[in-house]
Amino acid sequence: MSEQLERLNKLPLRANLRGLSPYGAPQLDVPILLNVNENTHGVPDDVQSAITEAVAKAATGLNRYPDREFTELREALAEYLGHGLGPENLWAANGSNEVLQQILQAFGGPGRKALGFPPTYSMYPLLASGTDTEYVRGVRADDYNLSAESAAGQVRDLAPNIVFLCSPNNPTGTGLGLDVVEAVYEAGEVSQAIVIVDEAYHEFVHDGTPSALTLLPGRERLIVSRTMSKAFALAGARLGYMAAAPEVTDAIRLVRLPYHLSAVTQATALAALHHREALMADVEDIKIQRDRIVAELTRMGLTPAASDSNYVFFGGLEDPHRVWQGLLEAGVLIRDVGIPGHLRVTAGTETETTVFLEALEALLAGQSPLSA
């Protein structure tokens, strides 16, 4: 046992937190970072200027608390999402993780349970533990897909209070059909389950793929969460949000911290929303690189999953850690998600993608790749 863990265990820590590890991905200083699904294109110059101007204006009033209801931001988010949503349907927090945490604070807790379908986003069980909510692990098919029949059956059998549906799913990148969401919602009627559809990567889906936002009318237990970290290239700004029935946002107000969204955060998010056309142009380029990765990995004899996200989950590797280490030594950091035979890579710029593909192909051929 490490000295740090010994010190931790001497504290009166809650029992359900003992032995857990905090969320984390390697933070290494290498030329090409493709491991945490960031938008590697960065914020365009004109958007940077708009954000700088907005933040400078907000700075003149930093002696005062920000708008507790972030009304202007909720209006802008509702306008961006469309689907007949109004500001009363929107809520935001410091990243979609805080949104999910607030949902669990309001609807989870001791004696309640949340259901997820691994492999999926690794924060779900950690958020559950942090709110003393039991986390129940459902199952997927061998190809990691989740059918409406299977998901609904598990909801009926397990009677959870909260259900996490990640679409596109992290780490596999595969989207869920709306039939799955509808079936899970109906199956959760008996336990009055809150159904969360985590659409953090929805802006990257293939054209014509519908959002669960279309299912919100008449479903007061349905929540759709989003983020500005990925498509909007604002991972460092920490702004996540959700759309739901007005009574759900009222429930979240019961657990939110006072003035939880800073004036700087609100100003940054508003400026980005007002200049989203430039940001969405980068999204289209990322989608091109993602599809390129899928095609090239298939050519190399690997088995990439169909992706609706800004990353590609791929298998067919005899020794994924050796490949991961070889790429790291070549200056390319991707993600080992702990699934045998698989790795995950973020779709970066055209140059970054080229370096990754060339290094990977060299490693598969038993050669040493060039250093990035």
Among candidates 300, 357, 303, 299, which has minimal Cα distance to 327?
Answer: 357
pLDDT band at residue 335 using 50, 70 and 90 as cut-offs: very high
Whether the link from the prior residue into 119 is cis, omega within 30° of 0, is: yes
Q: Give the integer Cα–Cα distance in Å for 314 and 142.
A: 14
Report the chain's mean pLDDT, rounded to a whole number: 96
Identical fold at 11-44+278-364 and 45-274?
Answer: no
The reported pLDDT for the residue numbered 371 is 76
Q: Give the integer Cα–Cα distance in Å for 21 and 5.
A: 10
- Across residues 57-84, what is the average pLDDT? 98
The reported pLDDT for the residue numbered 17 is 85
Cβ–Cβ < 8 Å for 168, 309: yes
Tell me the per-residue pLDDT of 170-213, one tens digit each, with 9 for 90 and over: 999 999 999 999 999 999 999 999 999 999 999 999 999 999 99
The reported pLDDT for the residue numbered 1 is 54
Q: Give the integer Cα–Cα distance in Å for 91 and 232.
A: 17
Is 11-44+278-364 a CATH 3.90.1150.10 domain? yes
> Is a pLDDT exceeding 90 seen at residue 298?
yes
Pull the structure tokens for residue 14: 């809650």
Tell me the per-residue pLDDT of 90-146, one tens digit each, with 9 for 90 and over: 999 999 999 999 999 999 999 999 999 999 999 999 999 999 999 999 999 999 999
Q: Would you list the DSSP string of 294-340?
A: HHHHHHTT-EEPP-SSSEEEEE--S-HHHHHHHHHHTTEE-B--S-T
Identify the CATH number of the domain defined by range 45-274: 3.40.640.10
Cβ–Cβ < 8 Å for 39, 286: yes
Percentage, residues of the chain above pLDDT 70: 100
pLDDT band at residue 237 using 50, 70 and 90 as cut-offs: very high
Q: Phi and psi (nearest 5°) for 48? A: -55, -45
pLDDT band at residue 319 using 50, 70 and 90 as cut-offs: very high
Tell me the per-residue pLDDT of 243-274, one tens digit each, with 9 for 90 and over: 999 999 999 999 999 999 999 999 999 999 99
